[in-house]
Amino acid sequence: MGLGKYKVDGSKKVKLSDFNTDSKRDDVVKEDIKLKQADNIKKIALLQEKLYAEGKEGLIIVLQAMDAAGKDGAVKHVMSGINPQGIDVVSFKQPNSEELAHDFLWRINRRLPERGKIGLFNRSYYEDVLVVKVHELNKSYKMADRITKLDSKDFFKKRYRHIRNYEEYLFDNSYRIVKIFLNVSKSEQKKRFLERLENPDKNWKFSSSDLSERKLWKDYQDVYEQAINETATEDCPWYVLPADDKWYTRYLVSAIILKALEDIDPSFPELPDSEKAKLTEYHESLLKDGK
């Protein structure tokens, strides 16, 4: 299954309603997809090892979604084969007082991975043009009048520009950025919420805020659509993935990460010729070591 139909690169405006939320349109077989995912995970593990050893480029994966879309499960299943030393997984929640006292990219920038590593952001700086916009939290910010007196349209127009510039800055500093939106349907979200309420082992996943946010479904769909259209570029694209079938979502996430690593095309560093010439000497020295 090609990824092109899910990719948004800024060349044209898209509507979220045009993207499927399940696997039906793609006519795929679950058993085949699971085998392909397993193969992808093996390939990702090898490429990640090369990425880490080479240390020339970093990969940042941004995961955004509505509640219960399966972000945590995607992280758990797709990244299972990766060496923990080579990945930083960060979950961003509502900003605390220290974070609100800085610019909105401050908390993100301080958690960037080193080049050679993968950084996976479970939610990200995009929250500042999503939940902030839906709830108009910007109106309560302690900032200069020239900022707080901007109307919402101008305020968020600037933020979209800041995000595009920030991602271009990272790209120019040898980072690849892949942004993934897990596109779950409203009916599937309801089903998963009910499961959390009915299954005692999943009660802990449910929050009363889930229901209040669900009432704002249309608002969130609108802000996600706008954020994706405003920030998708050729170098830092978005992928809008169907999220109703978790097994298919996880495969597609693995395929996207694999493609990003293949585009980077990392390789193990080569020893200088002067060191290569000494390898035989080192090898013989170890063989002679009596211990």
Provide the pairing of β-strand 238-242 with 175-183.
parallel
Q: Indicate if the pLDDT at residue 112 is higher than 80.
A: yes
Tens digit of each residue's pLDDT (9 = 90 or more) over 153-210: 999 999 999 999 999 999 999 999 999 999 999 999 999 999 999 999 999 988 888 8
Q: Give me the percent of the chain exceeding a pLDDT of 70.
A: 99
pLDDT at 96: 87
Q: pLDDT above 90 covers what percent of the chain?
A: 80
Say which residue the tokens 């009916």 belong to. Answer: 187
Closest by Cα among 178, 177, 182, 179 to 71: 182
What does the pLDDT read at residue 79? 84
Domains belonging to the chain, first-starting first, are 4-288 (3.40.50.300)
- State residue 188's pLDDT score: 97
Cα–Cα distance measured from residue 228 to residue 13, given in angstroms and rounded to the nearest whole number: 9
Beta strands in 186-257 (DSSP E): 238-242
- Contact (CB, 8 A) for 241 and 6: yes
80-92 confidence digits (pLDDT tens): 778 888 899 999 8
Angstrom distance (rounded) from CA 15 to CA 81: 34
116-150 pLDDT per residue, tens = 999 999 999 999 999 999 999 999 999 999 998 89
Q: Is the pLDDT of residue 94 over 90?
A: no
Give me the residue label for tokens 């958690």: 111
Q: pLDDT band for 284, please (50, 70, 90 cuts).
A: confident
Of the CA atoms within 13 Å of residue 239, those in its CB half-sphere come to: 22
How far is C-alpha 254 from the geometric centre of its chain's CA atoms?
A: 11
Residue 1 has pLDDT above 70, yes or no: no
Band (291; pLDDT cuts 50, 70, 90):
low
21 three-class SS: coil
Task: Name the band, by pLDDT with cuts 50, 70 and 90, for residue 18.
Answer: very high
- Over the chain, what is the mean pLDDT? 94
- Select the more confidently predicted residue: 259 or 208: 259
